[in-house]
Structure 1
């Protein structure tokens, strides 16, 4: 059975893009800091958890999330949840925070699992072309057996990136986003 080792998830999977002039990304102990002297500072932290399914005393399935830390072995079919926390540590709002998250190699995005808490105006878009373009609902063209070409929703296995756009992160506030992937 094929195994995938996940090492340093916070440093490997997080790519933060803050659309400010003069941005300075800093990596420190699994925490990224995107800052601009005029606009404020946002601390970013990426955590990962593995879905563990068990049965309760009545025989019902119970889904729990187990934090992943250090060097971890996952199996094909395992579902992981990535949680991204962005904390504006400044006294000013931060405008137009954009976070790009690649779908890790060997993983498939779980459709409709991405969400952003704490900011109702946030927008989630997806890329199926390695981050060159992002849309809300990716589509692909499929050639049918009769030769006709049809546009269909993109399958989960072609998603390459998730982009989270938060128009404003208020001063001294936190925005939280998460999404799920499944090990191939």
Structure 2
């Protein structure tokens, strides 16, 4: 049985980008699970990544799901389900427009279909990439060649997903926070 060691979140997770209006990121620093992204107008968003492992327990004959926080170096096994949560806190005095956060599916993991969620932000759009983060769509599809030679378009399998993207709508108010999460399964 394969076992994987996760030596801290920064080794397997990268907050690939946060975009503000049409301005590029000036700084994107990732240390100890926290990133700071800043645009040219000095709007500041602090990004925090957390990971939890799904634990199923039987209590009084019923199965209950709990999420165990992962800290430091941990061991996971094939089949384990992990939930990643990204929180974006606008610490600035002005609203941040067009906040977009990209989160790669970590190597050795498979995205759990339909698991991406968002909390407390209307107008958020969740999209996905199956090409390494080059393009994002709401419902990724692949072309499959059938035995008879015809080509069909089908929903992309879970193994094809490479990134999850949250676009948090028109703006995130000053001193407000947004949160997105998704699940993966260890291969």
Scaled by the length of structure 1, what TM-score is found?
0.94
Aligned to 1:173: 176
Aligned to 1:153: 155
- Which runs of 5 or more residues in structure 2 are unaligned? none
- Tell me which stretches of 4 or more aligned residues in structure 1 moved more than 4 Å: none
Aligned to 1:133: 135
Aligned to 2:126: 124
| C-alpha RMSD over aligned residues | 1.3
Aligned to 2:2: 2
Q: CA deviation at 1:39?
A: 4.6
Q: CA deviation at 1:44?
A: 0.4
Residue aligned with 2:154, SS:
strand
Q: Is this contact kept in 1: 2:53–2:70, CA < 8 A?
A: yes
Aligned to 2:17: 17
Q: CA deviation at 1:21?
A: 3.4
Write out aligned runs for 1:88-103 (5 A): 88-103=90-105
State the distance in 2 between where 1:126 and 1:93 align. 26
State the distance in 2 between where 1:71 and 1:32 align. 20
Q: Is this contact kept in 1: 2:88–2:177, CA < 8 A?
A: yes
Aligned to 1:42: 45
Aligned to 1:109: 111
Q: CA deviation at 1:16?
A: 3.8
Q: Is this contact kept in 1: 2:24–2:40, CA < 8 A?
A: no
Q: Is this contact kept in 1: 2:10–2:30, CA < 8 A?
A: no
- Which runs of 5 or more residues in structure 1 are unaligned? none
Q: CA deviation at 1:11?
A: 5.3
Residue aligned with 1:80, SS:
strand
Q: CA deviation at 1:163?
A: 1.1
Q: Is this contact kept in 1: 2:10–2:31, CA < 8 A?
A: no
